[in-house]
A and B are shown apart, each in its own frame.
Chain A
Amino acid sequence: MLKRSICASAFGVTVFYAAHACAAGYGIGTPVTESALAAWNIDVAPNGHGLPAGSGDVAHGKDVFAAKCAMCHGAQGQGGIGDTLVGGRGTLASAKPLKTIGSYWPYATTLFDYIRRAMPYNAPESLSADDIYAVSAYLLYLNGVVPQSTRLDAKTLPQVKMPNRNGFVPDPRPGTL
């Protein structure tokens, strides 16, 4: 019964493995616990669903960025060995488009999702929620999206209006190139 209830209630990545293990009856593995699953269930939706408590402002974000990010992304989010994070507005229709947070990303919440799960590159998931909100605020500030006085949290981050929010169209395939 326990196995069956896990199979029926598991979502996302785990459903694939759980369904296979249960259906085939190999008798291997152990049912995933809710607490173990929670460590992986960290995605953030455009509407802010999944954002944790905490907050951070541009000033603190500048310090965190200098300590944890600038060595790869450059002091101002440009010119490092890592991806360029700042600039590129107005270049998307040019021969050399520069896709950055400010020029391309449709949702500010993606900042939190990605920084939390993947950055710093050598220590992903090491930043506190406060630090991640702060770095998000700093990067949005560097991109001219929010003012210097900005403090972000689970409520305000999803409300940030991204410059390229309306720059997307549905995929028309199949039926056309």
Chain B
Amino acid sequence: MTREETSKYTDLLPDGRARQFVFEMDAKSVITRPSPGHKLTTHGYYAVSGLAWSGRGRIRRVDVSADGGHTWREARLTGPVRDRALTRFEADWHWDGGPAVLQSRAVDETGYVQPTREALVAVRGVNSYYHYNGIQSWRVGADGELRNA
């Protein structure tokens, strides 16, 4: 057994035990535009875009939220949708100039829904990061700056 199998394909749980082996990455997604480093300079329309993928098949759907997960809208899958491959998504968003939290939530063809960070941490703790796939939040400030929330 190699070191990678020992240390990377095992995930440590809060009770000190570790899952062995952990290979598949469950459905995951991230908004790449806008994202930290970007600054929104005008109010109004933005095409929010990003990437989704799953180690268990094709991406079926991606939802996007601008209010931290309270409400969701289905995004368009804009490129090829292939088995276990990066899949482009895009969603329309109108920034009214106020604080916002952008999130994306992927669903794969098995029906698996990308979990919130809180749900994932509740089960796996904070030291199981190699297969971490929690919903990522980008906080938009009133100044238009994006930060990792």
Contacts and interface: CB of A to CB of B under 8 A. Distances in A.
B122 to A, nearest CB: 8
**How many of chain A's residues touch chain B, expressed as a range?**
20 to 34
Given A99-B12, A168-B10, A177-B124, A110 B2 contact: yes
Interface string B1-13: 1110111001111
Interface stretch (A58-66, A101-109, A140-148): A101-109
Contact of B19 (A93, A109, A110, A170): A170
A17 B13 CA distance: 37
**How many of chain B's residues touch chain A, expressed as a range?**
20 to 34
A117 B124 CA distance: 32
Contacts of A37: none
B115 interface: yes
A167 B2 contact: no
Contacts of A106: 1, 6, 20
Contact of A171 (B3, B5, B20, B127): B20
Interface of A: 43-46, 92-93, 95, 97, 99, 104-107, 109-110, 113-114, 117-118, 167-174, 176-177
Interface of B: 1-3, 5-7, 10-24, 26, 56, 110, 112, 115, 119-120, 123-124, 126-127
